[in-house]
Amino acid sequence: MTAFRRIGVVGCGLMGAGIAEICARSRVSVVVAVRSPDAEARGFDRIAGSLDRARSKGKITASESTEALARITFTTTLDDLADRDLIIEAVREEASLKLDLLATLDKIVENPDAVLASNTSSLPIARLASATGRPGHVVGVHFFNPVPVLPLVELVAAVHTGRSHLHLRREGGRFRPE
């Protein structure tokens, strides 16, 4: 499996913002889908503030912070995620919302090998995968909070999840397939 070059994140609350940040710090293109321009402003401020904290603690340089922010694009249209290799949903922990979202993403994403991931901490991945026509490409990717600080990620497979989608690693703030 090749490295993910184009990542999408749906939701930019505490978890979504952290996920978008670590992906951008990994030098990949990130598109963050949010509900509204207000949510975009809050998400941008959350990410910029986290990058500023990392910079002030010497974890990243000012140019790394600027470059990471430049790799993140916001949208209020899920269709803008069509070209993504990996999409991680980080919306409210509500089954119907996540099921509808994954069904919609399944129809939008152009690459049949793209991975759809859920940051759920309580819903069965097999149930979420059943909302798609690609259950073998659906995984749980449960990040620990705060995402930019804790280098822990739990990968959760469903019955149909392909083994190649379970070999991901996070090192030094980077998230990539092995």
> Phi then psi for 59, rounded to 5 degrees?
-75, -30
Query: Checking DSSP bridges between strand 6-10 and strand 86-89, what pairing results, if any?
Result: parallel
Q: What is the pLDDT of residue 148?
A: 84
| Rounded distance between C-alpha atoms, residue 140 and residue 75, angstroms | 23
Q: Whose structure tokens read 């901490």?
A: 121
pLDDT at 171 over 70: no
What are the tens digits of pLDDT across the range 88-122?
999 999 999 999 999 999 999 999 999 999 999 88
Q: What is the pLDDT of residue 172?
A: 47
What are the tens digits of pLDDT across the range 121-143?
889 899 999 999 999 899 999 88
| Rounded distance between C-alpha atoms, residue 94 and residue 69, angstroms | 29
Share of the chain above pLDDT 70, in %: 87
3-state secondary structure 35-62: CCHHHHHHHHHHHHHHHHHHHHCCCCCH
pLDDT at 55 over 70: yes
Mean pLDDT of 26-51: 97
Give the global pTM: 0.87
**Best CATH choice for the domain 6-177 from the list 2.60.120.10, 3.40.50.720, 3.30.70.380, 3.10.450.50:** 3.40.50.720
State yes or no: is 137 an active-site residue: no
pLDDT at 43 over 70: yes
Q: Whose structure tokens read 């759920």?
A: 120
Please, which pLDDT band fits residue 160 given cuts at 50, 70 and 90?
low
Query: Checking DSSP bridges between strand 29-33 and strand 72-75, what pairing results, if any?
Result: parallel
Find out whether the peptide bond into 151 is cis, omega within 30 degrees of 0. no
Q: What is the pLDDT of residue 78?
A: 98
Q: Which of 137, 142, 160, 165 is catalytic?
A: 142
What are the tens digits of pLDDT across the range 59-88?
999 999 999 999 999 999 999 999 999 999
